[in-house]
Amino acid sequence: MIKNHKNNANDFITLMQPYMRHINHTAFRLTGNMHDTEDLVQEFLIKIYPRKEQFNQGQNIKPWLTKVLYNTYIDIWRKQKNNPTCKKDNINFTGCDESDEQFNHHICNTLCPEQLTALSETQQELMQLLFSLNNEQRLVLVMHDIEGYSLPELTNIMHVPLGTLKSRLHRARDKMRNLLNDKKVSHDKEVAEG
């Protein structure tokens, strides 16, 4: 029994090690902070362990792992959303834009100051803009523009129709570009005023 356990552990660790960097990075892109990333990855590994037999050697399993990771994230997120004591309960998941208050609440709870200060000023601004999007828009932007999945791949990963994904992606990009342009205008104005 002990030997079996040890073999199972070694097999699973050997199997998963090559993908852990990808998993950790994607988890961070989804959650935006290290603490939630660790929780998400742990939950994901617990979920994936019983299905380790589905790993076929030579087959590209990254999209499948990403899909399970994404679903795990959504499960956790929904649980938090439905739990009135949870820190993220005010975030809107239905696609409407959040109010400023909700936006600030989200930023405060998702990006911790230590992580923000580790980024350059430009990257801090970008990160904050990214998390000012509603969850649906942010997720498709992260998965498509940062993680590099195509929209057809994302329909499978995110269980959302192609047209819906595309419109969310376009709205997310419009919003990001508008916010960046607004910031640039206000920055230029400040410089001009001395």
Partner 1 sequence: MKCDYVNLFLYDYVDGYLPSAQRNLIHNHLLSCQQCANTVLEQQELTRSLQSLAMPELPEEFNEHALTHAVNFHENTQKTKYFSITNMAIAASVFFAATTGFLLTQQPTQTPLVEMVAENKNEVHGEHLNLVFNSPKALSNVTFTVILPENVEMMGHPGKKRVVWSSQLQAGQNLLSLPIIAKEKSTGTLITIIDYENNSKMFEVKLKNKKLLT
Q: How far apart are CA 45 and CA 101, in angstroms?
A: 35
Q: How far apart are CA 86 and CA 120, in angstroms?
A: 30
Q: How far apart are CA 35 and CA 19, in angstroms?
A: 20
**183 scored as a contact of partner 1 (CB under 8 A):** no
**3 scored as a contact of partner 1 (CB under 8 A):** no
Buried b (16+ CB within 10 A) or exposed e, 125-143: bbbbbbbbbbbbbbbbbbb
Q: How far apart are CA 85 and CA 35, in angstroms?
A: 18
CB of residue 55 to partner 1, shortest distance in Å: 14
- Cα Dmax for the chain: 75
Closer of 9 and 99 to partner 1 (Cβ): 9
CA angle 176, 89, 132 (to 5 degrees): 10
Closer of 106 and 165 to partner 1 (Cβ): 165
CB of residue 46 to partner 1, shortest distance in Å: 5
Q: What token pair was written down for 52? A: 């380790």
Site for partner 1 in 123-182 (CB under 8 A): 123, 126-127, 130, 141, 144-146, 150-151, 159, 169-170, 173, 176-177, 180-181
Binding site for partner 1 (CB under 8 A): 1, 5, 8-9, 12-13, 16-17, 20, 24-25, 28, 34, 37-38, 41-42, 45-51, 71, 75, 78-79, 82-85, 115, 118-120, 122-123, 126-127, 130, 141, 144-146, 150-151, 159, 169-170, 173, 176-177, 180-181
